[in-house]
């Protein structure tokens, strides 16, 4: 992506419309796993600015950073720090813009000519499937929460996360080493556990030679999440299929308990699943 395509208006609007996972009180804002020659570590930060200050002063070659999907709602200071983070890692405006538009899937690359760094990003969106007594719950966005008189909460209906890989080459004529940083916005807890288990693996240096290996880990974990949702979906599909087969042999005027709304939503989720699989195949 060329800097000519940058749209500063998107950063001015950020983070309008982003669906964020509720953040527990007093929970660390950022988890950071770090590797360098002779040292590995894990740090927690209460603010984005605190992380950037530590990042600028450290000599770690590889960092995996897990952040919330978006700043705390209404927190203008935190929103400003997120924008500063985007600038620090040369994140193009398309990345927050795509999330504000709640895109299903996206993949892009960016080259910062000023510091010769490379950036790659992906967005992930997956429907949460909750089954009770063989019936899909929260079938529609407009109906969600209405029965209890509550405001609809999209974060309970969707799993979404974004990943931005930043690669900064070593500087010619200086002692600045090559660094690889993976920013994970809204990543599930399983992602943190996966990288935590890799802290003592000596082959972490392979990432410096081939940074895109990190996407193998990302897609592996996302496929695991997706696979669980597919199995949950199958629990709802099977009874509806059986009901449809029974109804096929009856007279049309006879009543049936077949839920066409369930069938309609199942069809939507199946199409959504096919789109995700096609997207991953294209990226591979």
HSE-CB of 74 using CA atoms within 13 angstroms:
0
Residue 36, helix vs strand vs coil: strand
Is 107 within 8 Å of 116 (Cβ atoms)?
Answer: no
Give the DSSP H or E segment for 62: strand 62-67
Q: pLDDT of the chain along its 284 residues, tens only?
A: 777 888 989 999 999 988 877 777 777 899 999 999 878 889 999 999 999 998 888 889 999 999 999 998 888 999 999 999 999 999 999 999 999 998 877 889 999 988 899 999 999 887 777 777 766 665 554 444 455 556 656 777 788 899 999 999 987 555 668 999 999 999 988 898 999 999 888 899 999 999 999 999 998 998 888 788 777 777 767 776 677 667 766 655 455 555 556 656 655 665 565 555 555 545 55
- Of 131, 56, 113, 63, which is closest to residue 88 (Cα–Cα)? 56
Q: How far apart are CA 99 and CA 94, in angstroms?
A: 9
- CA dist., res. 235 & res. 231, Å (int): 7
**pLDDT at 229 (0 to 100):** 77
Q: Determine the length of the chain.
A: 284
* Residue 141: per-residue pLDDT: 47
pLDDT score at 17: 86
pLDDT of residue 253: 46
Supply the pTM of this predicted model: 0.83
Q: 109 lies in which domain range?
A: 3-283
User: Domain tally for the chain?
Assistant: 1
CATH number of the domain that residue 235 is part of: 3.30.460.20
Query: How much is the pLDDT for 144?
Result: 45
């Amino acid at each position: 992506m060329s800097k000519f395509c940058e749209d500063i208006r998107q950063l001015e609007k950020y983070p309008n419309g982003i669906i964020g996972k509720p953040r527990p009180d007093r929970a660390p804002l950022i988890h950071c796993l770090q590797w360098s020659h002779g040292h590995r570590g894990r740090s927690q930060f209460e603010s984005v600015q605190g992380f950037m200050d530590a990042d600028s002063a450290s000599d770690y070659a590889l960092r995996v950073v897990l952040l919330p999907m978006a700043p705390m709602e209404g927190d203008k200071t935190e929103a400003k720090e997120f924008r500063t983070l985007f600038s620090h890692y040369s994140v193009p405006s398309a990345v927050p813009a795509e999330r504000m538009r709640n895109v299903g899937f996206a993949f892009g690359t960016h080259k910062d000519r000023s510091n010769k760094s490379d950036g790659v990003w992906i967005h992930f969106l997956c429907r949460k499937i909750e089954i009770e007594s063989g019936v899909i719950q929260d079938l529609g966005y407009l109906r969600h929460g209405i029965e209890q008189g509550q405001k609809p909460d999209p974060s309970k209906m969707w799993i979404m996360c974004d990943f931005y890989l930043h690669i900064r080459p070593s500087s010619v004529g200086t002692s600045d080493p090559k660094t690889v940083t993976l920013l994970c916005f809204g990543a599930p807890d399983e992602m943190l556990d996966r990288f935590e288990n890799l802290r003592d693996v000596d082959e972490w240096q392979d990432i410096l030679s081939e940074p895109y290996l990190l996407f193998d880990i990302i897609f592996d974990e996302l496929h695991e999440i997706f696979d669980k949702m597919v199995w949950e979906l199958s629990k709802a599909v099977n009874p509806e299929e059986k009901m449809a087969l029974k109804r096929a042999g009856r007279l049309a005027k006879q009543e049936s308990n077949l839920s066409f709304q369930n069938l309609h939503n199942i069809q939507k989720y199946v199409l959504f699943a096919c789109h995700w699989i096609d997207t991953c195949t294209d990226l591979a």
